Amino acid sequence: MAGGGGGLRFSHVLNVRQTDADLIVAASKATATRVTQNTESGATADQVRFVGAIKHIDVDGDADALTQTVDDITQGLTGDMSKIVDFNESRDICGLAGLREGHVPGFENIATAVEQGIDGVAVNWRGFYDQKDISNADFQIWADRLQAVADSDEWETAMIEKGLALFIRVGDNFQTWVDGVIASTEELSREIGVDQ
């Protein structure tokens, strides 16, 4: 669905592809946040099944933010460690904190926020969802495919080369994890007044 945003994809799954076992759709933290905050025209997270997440390799990058930081126009930026691999080695940009439970391989010198006394873990995930009524067998087929990619030597090599941290959840484990993300996002959205 070139040019279609998350809402268009979500609506298409719910209204057109609800019984398509060959369907798998990209999802992210933003997907979970938008359905939690009711910005997808009444669509809710329980209308689909979240299949799995593996760390992605971003090909767009954050060129503007990186360039402005290197050129001292800005003093810092937030983003994936994978974006600063070369800059970290040259010391043009230095990581201040990792927002995950453990260290990112290759970035062991960067303390986590928790190690620095900040109670903060924020996973920037990308994953996939499927239509809610997919059979358990077809759901497991997709989960197994994602696990096979995550377990491959090629994926491990790509993760190390790109400075990516291990983040793999598939099948029911991922669905349970996303349910928790949605619950905490709902709570935070109510607290700060952005829940629509």
pLDDT by 10s per residue, the chain, length 196: 444 556 667 777 777 787 888 887 777 777 777 777 777 667 788 888 888 876 554 444 567 777 777 787 777 777 777 777 777 777 777 788 888 888 877 788 889 889 999 887 777 778 898 988 999 999 999 999 999 999 999 988 888 777 677 778 999 999 998 998 888 888 877 776 766 5
List, in order of start, the domains of the chain with CATH numbers. 6-55+125-192 (3.40.190.150), 63-116 (no CATH)
Q: Give the pLDDT confidence of 99-124 residue by residue, as tens digits.
A: 888 887 778 888 988 999 988 777 77
Q: What is the pTM (predicted TM-score) of this model?
A: 0.58
DSSP string computed for the chain: -TT--HHHHHHHHHHT-TT-TT--EEEEHHHHHHHHTT-STT--GGGEEEEEEE----SS--HHHHHHHHTTSSS-----GGGGHHHHHHTSS----B-SSSPPTT-TTS-BTGGGT--------EEEEEETT--HHHHHHHHHHHHHHHHSHHHHHHHHHHTPPP-EEEHHHHHHHHHHHHHHHHHHHHHHT---
